[in-house]
Structure 1
């Protein structure tokens, strides 16, 4: 063999060493080495490989786990290196949102909002209804972080609400992401049941088509959402709302139970404080608020509230107070079994405090109400409120009714209360004209037929005028 062959072999070796992995290089060296003489065969001893080749092999075998750094397009991980450093799956920590809710229980809305936006970035959005939850957008702006806003356009909102949407977009320099109901579903509902079927068979079906299903589509593109729920909005359904929770009703981007987180930054804030904040920051508000609207929804299902009424009483006013959720926050409604106590709550739940607690009022039992209703010649006229302790609208008029009772003390008019919830509800519906809570009845001196107070003005002056006109 020519004497130049070893030099040529050495040059090829160097070229291969810097362009291939060490194992491949070693294999080529073995193949190109002069064949051993017959009878002198022995296993290849890797110790004869040059020091440069050994050093190169060690350097290449230290491989970091996948995703530890950007992967080079020309990198080839050798099998030996893969065995030495197998792929390590990234450990995903699961957040304990119940514990986080406890940690943030006393935090400010601004701090809670900042935490939410920082944690979820572009995968979270504010649900904006066009009412006082514009405060959420203001808090988001104050964090200095980017944020998204979406809203449900049911097709039945007040003109003032649409105008307000436009004002908010211009004021904050944002674009609200509108979600619309499915046109075919709306068409089927209206054609089969008419435009106002919810007045007759409840609002749940209409809300499901116009609000719940569009919301479900919106949330499927998110991992978290931000709402304006407050505990004082509805003591019957929202009294236990935490500042953050795993959404009990909807699914998020990843799908399945627990895939969506719900943030309620103003859960612990009173309505009056929200309005003080809006005025202090000169935030634009819906013009309907100046007309007596507090909680604002669709035009046919929303109206202004009157003195002595709770803010949610302007929503679905023809229904029982416990039904005043549209389905967007249906997780607030507790599932009740058939074993209820006198307050209409399942046994084992927290006790609800009674209402109208004053010595100027007479607490009537079922027997007392039956006797009162049978009397045709009473010594004194009676004014009686039929109530449920959990009812937020009864709670809203408590101050007015107690004050009225104190004013009528010694006047010859007895003032009483009757808990018409639970087992007494059917009796009250059948015998006492109960339609919804609260119901106020006046029993004249010389008539067995009670007179129902039909006005929704439950301030002291309005109630006193009703009594004075009949006694």
Structure 2
């Protein structure tokens, strides 16, 4: 999928290579790159200070192109120049950093985030009041990127708002879209409005969570508009910066993505005072009583005195109003595995969550099936099997990678399977299948009876493929 590039600049100077005719003032330049850029940022000479490097060695990636240059309309991803500033990937105690920044202003937090991660961080823009994030980024004078998830079911006013924001800031938002085949399968199998009957999680997973996961795999950090007062049931303890508990970043594995929440400690009233003071565009739906804005079928205005999140998924548990993008906010309560407000818990300890790892190239193994597989001393084909639980956020985080792996291994002589190992199957999996935590990944070789456990926390496609290739 092609992505757009965002950019604004008051400079029209032409820049090429790494030689510059004169310094460029980044306070007049906003920068964004496509998520799928294959060229990483290169370090610069240590003879200059970081500030000097940023001000004099950066190219205006988001500057409007020369109108004389012909750009093919279908090639939405433009080859962008580099910024000679390397991302800071040093190990850091983010819990301590969150404490240090807890009393800082949103502008200071935004400035710190952009300073640390450069081109490897992007602002998540939902089309609501988090336009404040873009305004704070502009005020820092630093390069920044903006992306948004287009679910295909947004209000017309939201699309118009996207356009207004792009024109106001002179940028192009990087849009991420759901997989057309997945959307088609969901609608054909369950209809357009199945979420009113069985909860919003499945639809959100297809239309929002998986596209977001793809976007974040190209980043080391992202910036959200979460606030503590948005949802007392799920966001009351949101820190200003944290290691993302659900999604993986560019390097893969737990801890590979940092999540910044610059307005976590800001009230909704103060956000709106800021937007009015800065005279920035806002979504026209706000004037119609909408406060928290999502997809059209799942969002409605709120009445005076109602909390803003009551306008989202109003038919569900008011304590768990999350679509999955911030599922790490959900706390597990006693007697409940997931607390998402949609699925209950059976007496045997399993949940009614919608299943994950669904693919025609992936085999769902029953208890009898995996017992037989484990007993075989010689198999016709090797097997890769994940032991999982649908409610497990780490299983959900690796779903896209595992499905892609299954597609790659189709017809290769390695079968890819899954075994749901929670509930009444958990004790068996712990005793017989080396289950320690979810997910556990096992490789069953062709000519060896004992399965080999995948030892790494990295669950990206390349890491999993390297594991398979080393053993098959």
Instruction: State the TM-score, normalized to the length of structure 1.
Output: 0.53
2:261 aligns with 264
Report the structure number with the largest CA radius of gyration.
1
Shift in Å, 1:93 = 3.8
Aligned to 1:275, the other structure's residue is in SS state helix
Asked if 1:280 is matched to 2:287, the reply is no
Shift in Å, 1:339 = 9.2
2:107 aligns with 110
Shift in Å, 1:298 = 0.1
The answer as to whether partners of 2:232 and 2:319 remain within 8 angstroms in 1 is: no
Asked if 1:215 is matched to 2:215, the reply is no
Shift in Å, 1:120 = 0.3
Q: Where does structure 1 lack aligned partners over 5 or more consecutive residues?
A: 1-66, 71-90, 345-471
1:130-153 CA deviation, whole Å, 9 max, x = no partner?
000000000000000110000000
2:447 aligns with none
1:303 aligns with 300
Shift in Å, 1:323 = 2.8
Equivalences for residues 41-440 of structure 1 within 5 A? 93-338=90-335
Higher helix share: 1
Shift in Å, 1:118 = 0.4
Alpha-carbon RMSD across the aligned residues, in angstroms, is 2.0
* Structure 1 stretches of at least 4 aligned residues deviating more than 6 Å after TM superposition: 67-70
The answer as to whether partners of 2:233 and 2:320 remain within 8 angstroms in 1 is: no
Aligned to 1:126, the other structure's residue is in SS state strand
Shift in Å, 1:92 = 7.2
1:162-208 CA deviation, whole Å, 9 max, x = no partner?
00000000000011000000000000000000000000000000000
1:19 aligns with none
Instruction: State the TM-score, normalized to the length of structure 2.
Output: 0.53
1:301-345 CA deviation, whole Å, 9 max, x = no partner?
0000001210000000010112310000000001223399xxx9x
Distance in structure 2 (CA, Å) of the matches to 1:282 and 1:339: 45
Distance in structure 2 (CA, Å) of the matches to 1:322 and 1:109: 27
Distance in structure 1 (CA, Å) of the matches to 2:262 and 2:229: 14
Q: Where does structure 2 lack aligned partners over 5 or more consecutive residues?
A: 1-42, 47-87, 342-472
